[in-house]
Amino acid sequence: MAKHQLSGTPPVALLLRRSARAKRISLRISQLDGRVTLTLPNGVPEAEALDFAQSKESWIRGHLADRPEDATVTFGQQISIQGRDRRIVETSGRRVLLREDEVAVPAGREAKRLQSWLRTYARNQVAEASDFYAEALGRDYTRITLRDTRSRWGSCSAEGALMYSWRLILAPPDVLRYVAAHEVAHLAEMNHSQAFWDVVERIHGPYRVPRKWLRDNGAELHRYRF
């Protein structure tokens, strides 16, 4: 990918990528990290793509302004854990402690300590939910992995391996459980047909509310910088 900038105040970083499949210049802004990507067909000059981006400057800046503001994870800041805002406070102990309105973290690389604890907490929660829905479905999965994915909240491979974003632990519990049910349902239906959604509803129950929450608020979970 080639890196360029859209002039103005402040300048906006642009990534240019070529695609043999592209039939025209397209523009995409990631709501997760604000990355602006221009995709152009082979043979189209970069200058033409940059002119296109310049013509869309107002649109680009408007979308970037609507993104959730990034939040640095440090003492005194708030972080959502299981859908509840908790203030990050220092503890003299050696363990991370989750309280009703606080999360207490030992000093010294506190952001990384908290991130590690959240990943472990997330693994426990998604494993418990995955076990529950797999039993309800009558199918077994092979393994669970956690990643910090940008484009999806979970996946299920043809071999039955489940993958989840650890940031689901920041969302309300019913959202995490919905994603677990969604991925486990793929053990029976490796598609998004009506049959698949029928499986989701059978093992989970009504799912439209947590699904909508994730669509409307999912980008917020990526604003925390550890």
For the domain that residue 206 is a member of, what is the CATH number? 3.30.2010.10
The DSSP code for 150 is S
Average pLDDT, the chain: 93
Stretch 197-221: mean pLDDT, rounded? Answer: 96
Q: Look at 104 and 40; give whichever has higher pLDDT.
A: 104
Same domain membership, residue 142 and residue 221: yes
* 213, part of any domain: yes
- What span, in angstroms and rounded, lies between the C-alpha atoms of 156 and 66? 32
In Å, what is the CA distance from 147 to each residue of 84, 88, 221? 22, 23, 14
96 within domain boundaries: no
Are 133 and 216 within one domain?
A: yes
pLDDT tens, 155-204?
Answer: 999 999 999 999 999 999 999 999 999 999 999 999 999 999 999 999 99
Q: Which residues pair with 40 in a beta bridge?
A: 18
Q: Which domain holds residue 10?
A: 2-66
The more confidently predicted of residues 27 and 114 is 114
Burial of 101 (0-12, 13-18, 19+ CB in 10 A): exposed
- pTM to 2 decimal places: 0.78
Q: Is the domain of 133 the same as that of 202?
A: yes
Residue 41 lies in a domain: yes
Number of C-beta neighbours around residue 187 at 10 A: 20
- Does position 1 have pLDDT exceeding 90, yes or no? no
Q: Is residue 103 part of a domain?
A: no
Same domain, 123 and 194: yes
What integer pLDDT is reported at residue 34 of this predicted model? Answer: 78
The reply to whether 81 falls in a domain is: no
Total number of domains in the chain: 2
* Domain-located, residue 199: yes
**Tokens for 130?**
């995955």
Average pLDDT of span 58-66: 83
Classify residue 111: in a domain, yes or no. no
Closest C-alpha among 160, 147, 144, 153 to residue 178: 153
